Amino acid sequence: MLQRRQLLKGLAAATAATAMAGGVPRWARAAVNKDARFLIVIPAFGGAQIIDSVLPIRASEAGSQASMIDCFPDAEVMSLAGSPIRAVNATMDHIVAQQLGTSFTVPLSPFIDKHKTQMMVTTLTGSSVNHAVAQHRSLTGGGAWKGRTLQECVAMAYGKDYPLPNVNMSRMGYLQPGDDPTIPSRVRAEPILQPLVKPLSFSASKGLRRGGADVPAQSLIDQARKLRDDELDPESSFYQTFRLSERIKLWMRQRSIDAPAIEKQQLIDKLFFVPEIADILPLSDYGLVSSEDALLLAEVFPDMFAEDPDPLEQQAALAYLLIKNHASVTVTLSPTFAPVLGGPFGIKTVPLAFDGSHQDHRAAQALMWFQMLSIVDRLVDLLRGAVFNPETGETFWDRTMIHVATDFGRDKRRPPDATIWGTSHHLNNGHVTISPFVRGNTVLGGVDPQTAYTYGFDLQTGAPDPGRNTSEAESFAGLLQALGVDTTEASLPDVPCMRA
């Protein structure tokens, strides 16, 4: 008879084949917060350069510097009607420094033209070129609010009624919690490294045996938990030794209160997006069901279950379900350094993601920007199709911000007339945010076409200011304020030009 361990193994096979004691927490019994706002952070792992996507420079604008800076042939830089935002449709004849013998175009203009009215481009100068440090600072504004991350701030503001207010599927500095020890533990990120199987962890008993044979009744499970919590654990030498530890207290609460409450919300059914496959993964035989959106997600993210599965598509599918089912108010997902094959160009994520720019700047930037924006596009469409408030007709997208964070920029120089070259890390850069809450169809700051360096803007009016740079703290404040988070306590600067 198949056991749960075998079911998990079957899940991997299916992927290839388809090439509560102590009271109930408030979030488990409260009505959904109708004022909630949602934040999806998509880190551009490895250093996405803003001038290789939405602020490109034409060679004719760079003049005598055109052969020596990161700029594009005029024909590859698209101007969008009625918009200050540009788009690169780069022509490539190589991938990861390997000549292909033919050329192809990596078009960013369809996405940018589609979403420009709710897109804000903001220039920024960071404070570190170390991956882990820069990644963390990109989420804390350089420690602007006691070291809290953007996600922790949003979870504190809107996540009290949500079982998993802050979910993070990223890595390294993007996964690192904030530095403020005073915030509630439940608003810190819940790390999820395996989005396909994580939903199965939201029930201790469902799916234990095929056909449901010999599965204990819930009343017996509750009795066993009570015996464990009230009698067995308190008598153990381990508990006696460490009973005053805050970590033990947190573990006891999560195990005894939070986990059973999550079970009662049936998140295992709502978030498990793997479809049933009769001969390989017979979910119904185990009393399991797929999410009602499983077939939709399989269509929107077709490479989730490919022979070389796309982990970013898997993350995006779970992110959508977490938000749509009122499980989370902020979700973080990102590519890793591992290459992923497939897509229209044969490769979706290049080795080292954006950090592949060390070997081949132009190809790494073009292909990774295309992959990132493709994920954003599909998430926006999904959220636009999901109703948040039936009374008002608001969709989830009407209450969501997607922020493309990045470690840092890249060097702006290249060898004379080089088409294949490598770049190092650089502090000067910018980022992209898509949301109804930001000032859409807007470029805040600008770029000097002679040097390829970005410059800042007036925080009140948004007017370009070549004499200043935008700081991490200013960007951090503007994003939170656009989301309606009260930043008064933090004494952060007011950045009205970033709000819709």
Interhelix angle 131-140/472-482, nearest 10 degrees: 40
Can you give the C-alpha Rg of the chain in angstroms?
24
Q: Say which residues have a Cβ less than 8 Å from residue 22's Cβ, sequence separation at least 6.
A: 229, 253, 256, 257
Q: Is 393 helix (H, G, I), strand (E, B) or coil?
A: coil
Asked if residue 98 lies in contact with residue 136, where contact means CB atoms within 8 angstroms, the answer is no
- Whole-number Cα distances in Å, 463 to 95, 409, 459: 38, 23, 8
Asked if residue 348 lies in contact with residue 286, where contact means CB atoms within 8 angstroms, the answer is no
- pLDDT for the residue numbered 210: 66
Q: Say which residues have a Cβ less than 8 Å from residue 353's Cβ, sequence separation at least 6.
A: 44, 45, 46, 335, 336, 337, 364, 368
HEC-encoded secondary structure of 176-192: CCCCCCCCCHHHCCEEC
- pLDDT for the residue numbered 24: 55
**Partners of 69 in the β-ladder:** 413
Asked if residue 438 lies in contact with residue 400, where contact means CB atoms within 8 angstroms, the answer is no
Asked if residue 37 lies in contact with residue 437, where contact means CB atoms within 8 angstroms, the answer is yes
**Residue 362: enclosing H or E segment and its boundaries?**
helix 361-384
d(CA 46, CA 134): 10
- pLDDT for the residue numbered 205: 80
Tokens of 17: 């084949």
Q: Is 456 helix (H, G, I), strand (E, B) or coil?
A: strand
d(CA 91, CA 83): 23
Q: Is 371 helix (H, G, I), strand (E, B) or coil?
A: helix
- pLDDT for the residue numbered 22: 44
Nearest 10 degrees: CA dihedral of 109, 115, 117, 118? -130
**104-114: string of b/e by CB count within 10 Å (b at 16+)?**
eebbbbebbbe
Q: Is 406 helix (H, G, I), strand (E, B) or coil?
A: strand
Burial class (CB in 10 A: 0-12, 13-18, 19+), 339: middle
Asked if residue 52 lies in contact with residue 365, where contact means CB atoms within 8 angstroms, the answer is yes
- pLDDT for the residue numbered 301: 97
Q: Indicate the length of the chain as a whole number.
A: 500
- pLDDT for the residue numbered 159: 95
- Whole-number Cα distances in Å, 62 to 67, 73, 276: 9, 11, 56
| pLDDT tens by residue, the chain, 500 residues | 345 555 555 555 554 554 433 455 655 555 567 789 999 999 999 999 999 999 999 999 999 999 999 999 999 999 999 999 999 999 999 888 777 888 999 999 999 999 999 999 999 999 999 999 999 999 999 999 999 999 999 999 999 989 999 999 999 999 999 999 999 999 999 999 999 999 999 988 887 766 656 677 888 888 988 899 889 988 999 989 998 898 888 888 888 888 888 888 899 999 999 988 767 778 888 888 899 999 999 999 999 999 889 999 999 999 999 999 999 999 999 998 899 999 999 999 999 999 999 999 999 999 999 999 999 999 999 999 999 999 999 999 999 999 999 999 999 999 999 999 999 999 999 999 999 999 999 999 999 999 999 999 999 999 999 999 999 999 999 999 999 999 999 999 999 999 99
d(CA 352, CA 68): 25
Nearest 10 degrees: CA dihedral of 348, 338, 297, 391? -100
